[in-house]
């Protein structure tokens, strides 16, 4: 989660990486803001965002307020 690059994306978002490919996803709706991942990985990331949306938004607020976000279990764990 990179919360200081709001000049580029301006919405709460996450960065997802798979085998050197990177995509930036909106936490609010799972839309791809920049980049791309393979279709199957894209679907997994969108589903993960939907499952963890409340936690992601809470962490985003903590981070932009200078507080440490809580860990959220990723897809590779």
Q: What is the pLDDT of residues 12-52, one digit of tens each?
A: 999 999 999 999 999 999 999 999 999 999 999 999 999 99
Full residue range of the structural domain in which residue 53 is found: 6-64
Distance of CA 60 to the CA centre of its chain: 10
Listed residue (22, 74, 34, 71) closest to 51, CA to CA: 74
Query: Does residue 70 sit within a domain?
Result: no
pLDDT at residue 71 tops 60: yes
What domain count does the chain have? 1
Whole-angstrom distance, CA of residue 30 vs CA of residue 53: 9
Query: Does residue 74 sit within a domain?
Result: no
Query: Does residue 72 sit within a domain?
Result: no
pTM of the complete model: 0.83
Q: Looking at the chain, how many residues does it have?
A: 77
Query: Does residue 69 sit within a domain?
Result: no
Please check whether residue 42 is in contact with residue 36, taking contact to mean a CB–CB distance below 8 angstroms: yes
């Amino acid at each position: 989660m990179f919360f200081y690059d709001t000049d580029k994306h301006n919405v709460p978002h996450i960065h997802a990486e798979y085998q050197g490919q990177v995509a930036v996803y909106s936490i609010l709706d799972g839309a791809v803001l920049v980049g791309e991942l393979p279709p199957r990985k894209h679907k997994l990331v969108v589903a993960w965002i939907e499952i963890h949306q409340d936690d992601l938004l809470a962490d985003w607020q903590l981070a932009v307020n200078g507080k440490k976000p809580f860990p959220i279990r990723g897809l590779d764990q």
